[in-house]
Amino acid sequence: MLEAFNFFDRDSKGYFTWQDYKAAICDHEMSLGASHASFEDVIEEAFPGRKKITFEDFNDFILENCRY
């Protein structure tokens, strides 16, 4: 999980922002089905009200949303 988090926190700040997320993924807007969402919107939906996503936030999100 830490390795995945570090993919977004490339500067080792202990958190990532939507800008870090965008830089890690690509320089284009993401297409989500028929609608288009900005990287900022994606982060806001996954982490409402948070501007800095910590490892704890990321870990909690993955554990809550990616159960098989």
Check residue 8 and give its pLDDT: 92
pLDDT beneath 70: ranges in the chain: 27-37, 68
Annotate the chain with DSSP letters as a single string.
-HHHHHHH-TT-SSEE-HHHHHHHH-SSPEEETTEEE-HHHHHHHHSTT-SSEEHHHHHHHHHHH---
Check residue 35 and give its pLDDT: 52
Domain architecture of the chain: domains with CATH: 2-65 (1.10.238)
Check residue 36 and give its pLDDT: 56
